[in-house]
């Protein structure tokens, strides 16, 4: 029994230390306002100089793809400096048809810089699509937008200015979930994004070890070439890309400015939320196993990478710790000092909740929203279930990774895969040879 208590005490201390660190990363930019100021978007834009390639990987997005294309077209940047391609797997005829329809319609309006790339080889996943699209394009700066993204029209002006002014080759701009009132987990999910992009990524960028996001991220073609494109076996090709860029000691500029964030929504159902999270966690574990992070220049960076990529483990531990420690409190006779130490992770959990509530008001202020007074209470009720959902996704990801299941779960819903001919519509003669 003594050994059990001792183990629990040590575990509780380690858990507290990691919780303190996580919490610090959440409030990093508020603690270091100068870091945040540095990360703001420029107030004045330089004249357009860079040329951009917008990759729009899409799968079963027939409902929204036309809007997505329209939004890209509406970006306030000279059209002759932009090329955009929708990337679809050849069997996704629904999306392809809608995209083609839109492209034809735009040609009627004299808009000719959007094309379509399809591919019919495996694997059917986002990194593969990105590589295909990348090969068919030529502009200097590559970026990715997801179909559901609501992009700010000035985003390319910002990146053009930052890249020219600061001579950086990689820029990650803010992505923000917005629907904080839709369902029980959306508030906490929205805030996770908020803290991740507004605070934590700045810490990563400063320390030269950054897992990039999946969209609104910008690379020069030269960087992508050096990296050899996206890792098609990785479920989080974006984070993996960030690690490899860090290994190359390429500076990453993070721009998070509440005014210019790319807006997204939380997954509509808990099921999808858990699937999405499982995929991310498993992708992190894959990146961890791949071991590129071991080539990071300094030990601090290696540890930060290890901590970030292995975080799903910690998360599931914390989720499990609460019930276990409650059980111990009532069922094991523990010396007073040990009992107090066993309680400390709970304090960090409380602190984490409180920081989320403060974050809610920061978020609301930044976007001109007014959260209801009941919101903190709702968050409190949802808080533990949310942690358990995350913990469940983490355990699930670990199991899947250990059993070697690494398909994109999104494909599980897809009907029979069709080996069809390439459907191609494009202004650029290079478009459409996607195979």
Partner 1 sequence: MNGSAANVNRGQANIVGAKRGTLSLVIEEAYLLMGVMAIAFVSHTYNMFNYPLYLGDEGIYMEQAWSVLTDGKLSPYTYFYDHAPVGWFLLAWWGLLLPGKLLAFGMAINSGRVLMAVLHVASTFFLYRTTKKLSGSDMASVAASIVFSLSPMALFYQRMVLLDNIMVFWILLALYLIVVHGDRVLTLIGSGFAFSMALLTKENAIFFAPVFAYIIYSNLKGKYQFRFSAVGWMFTMLAIVSLYPIYALLKSELLPSTLQGLGSSQSPGERVSLIGTVIWQMGRSQGSILDPNSLFWEFSLRRWWPKDSFLVAIGFASVLVALLLGLHERKHRKGLLYASLLSLAYIFYMARGSVMLEFYVVPLLPFLAMTIGMMMARIFQLFPGRLIQTSVFTIALFAIVYGSVQASRDHYTLNLTQVQHNQLQYIRENISPDAIMIVDDDLWVDLHDGGKNYPSYPNAHSHWKVTGDPEIRDKLLKNDWRNVDYVIVSNKLPETLQINGEKLVQDAIANSTLMARFEKGDVAVEVRRVNKPGRTPPAQTPQRGTTPQRNR
Cβ at position 306, least distance to partner 1 in Å: 24
CB atoms near residue 6 (< 10 Å) = 11
Q: Which is nearer to partner 1, 28 or 273 (CB)?
A: 28
Cβ at position 364, least distance to partner 1 in Å: 11
Q: Which is nearer to partner 1, 117 or 342 (CB)?
A: 342
Q: Which is nearer to partner 1, 105 or 347 (CB)?
A: 347
Cβ at position 332, least distance to partner 1 in Å: 13
Spatial CA neighbour of 80 closest among 46, 50, 57: 50
Bridge partners, residue 218, by sequence: 143, 171
Cβ at position 357, least distance to partner 1 in Å: 8
Q: Rounded to an integer, what distance in angstroms lies between the CA atom of residue 113 and that of residue 73?
A: 9
Spatial CA neighbour of 287 closest among 297, 298, 276, 295: 295
Q: Which is nearer to partner 1, 30 or 388 (CB)?
A: 30
Spatial CA neighbour of 187 closest among 385, 391, 379, 381: 379
Cβ at position 371, least distance to partner 1 in Å: 13
Cβ at position 381, least distance to partner 1 in Å: 20
Spatial CA neighbour of 157 closest among 68, 50, 70, 261: 50
Q: Which residues have C-beta within 8 Å of that of residue 331, sequence separation ≥ 6?
A: none
Q: Which is nearer to partner 1, 379 or 397 (CB)?
A: 379
Q: Which is nearer to partner 1, 238 or 362 (CB)?
A: 362
DSSP string, 166-217: H--SEEEE-EEE--TTSSTTHHHHHHHHHHIIIIIHHHHHHTT--PPPSSSE
Cβ at position 127, least distance to partner 1 in Å: 37
Is 7:17 a contact under the CB 8 Å cutoff? no
| Size (the chain), residues | 435
Cβ at position 12, least distance to partner 1 in Å: 14
Whether omega for the bond prior to residue 144 falls within 30 degrees of 0, making it cis, is no
CB atoms near residue 345 (< 10 Å) = 23
| Angle, CA 422 vertex, CA 416 and CA 425 arms, to 5° | 125
Q: Rounded to an integer, what distance in angstroms lies between the CA atom of residue 78 and that of residue 182?
A: 37
Q: Return residues touching partner 1 (CB under 8 A).
A: 24, 27, 30-33, 36, 336, 339-340, 343, 347, 350-351, 354-355, 358, 361-362
Q: Which is nearer to partner 1, 27 or 306 (CB)?
A: 27
Q: Which is nearer to partner 1, 323 or 335 (CB)?
A: 335
């Amino acid at each position: 029994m003594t050994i059990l208590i001792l183990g629990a005490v040590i575990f509780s201390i380690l858990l507290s230390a990691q919780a303190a660190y996580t919490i610090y990363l959440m409030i990093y930019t508020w603690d270091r306002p100068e870091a945040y100021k540095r990360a703001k978007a420029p107030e004045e834009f330089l004249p357009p100089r860079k040329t951009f390639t917008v990759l729009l990987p899409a799968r079963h997005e027939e409902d929204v793809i036309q809007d997505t294309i329209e939004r890209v077209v509406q970006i306030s940047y000279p059209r002759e400096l932009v090329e955009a391609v929708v990337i679809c797997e050849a069997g996704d005829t629904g999306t392809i048809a809608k995209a083609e329809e839109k492209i034809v319609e735009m040609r009627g309006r004299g808009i000719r810089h959007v094309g379509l790339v399809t591919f019919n080889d495996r694997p059917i996943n986002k990194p593969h699509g990105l590589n295909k699209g990348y090969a068919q394009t030529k502009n200097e700066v590559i970026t990715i937008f997801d179909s559901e993204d609501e992009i700010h029209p000035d985003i390319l002006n910002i990146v053009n200015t930052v890249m020219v002014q600061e001579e950086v080759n990689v820029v990650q701009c803010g992505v923000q979930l917005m629907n904080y009132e839709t369902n029980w987990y959306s508030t906490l999910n929205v805030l996770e994004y908020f803290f991740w992009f507004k605070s934590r990524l700045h810490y990563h960028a400063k320390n030269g070890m950054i897992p990039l996001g999946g969209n609104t991220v910008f690379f020069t073609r030269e960087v992508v070439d050096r990296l050899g494109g996206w890792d098609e076996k990785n479920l989080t090709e974006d984070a993996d890309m960030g690690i490899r860029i860090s290994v190359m000691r390429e500076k990453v500029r993070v721009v998070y400015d509440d005014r210019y964030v790319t807006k997204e929504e939380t997954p509509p159902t808990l099921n999808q939320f858990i699937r999405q999270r499982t995929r991310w966690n498993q992708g992190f574990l894959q990146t961890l196993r791949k071991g590129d992070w071991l080539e990071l220049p300094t030990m601090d960076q290696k540890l930060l990478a290890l901590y970030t990529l292995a975080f799903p483990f910690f998360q599931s531990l914390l989720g499990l710790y609460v019930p276990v420690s409650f059980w111990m409190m009532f069922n094991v006779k523990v010396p007073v000092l040990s009992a107090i130490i066993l309680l400390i992770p709970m304090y960090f959990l409380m602190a984490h909740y409180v920081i989320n509530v403060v974050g809610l008001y920061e978020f609301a202020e930044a976007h001109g929203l007014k959260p209801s007074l009941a919101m903190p209470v709702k968050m409190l009720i949802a808080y533990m279930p949310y942690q358990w959902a995350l913990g469940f996704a983490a355990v699930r990801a670990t199991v899947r990774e250990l059993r070697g299941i690494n398909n994109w779960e999104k494909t599980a819903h897809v009907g029979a895969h069709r080996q069809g001919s390439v459907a191609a519509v494009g202004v650029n003669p290079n478009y459409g040879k996607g195979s």
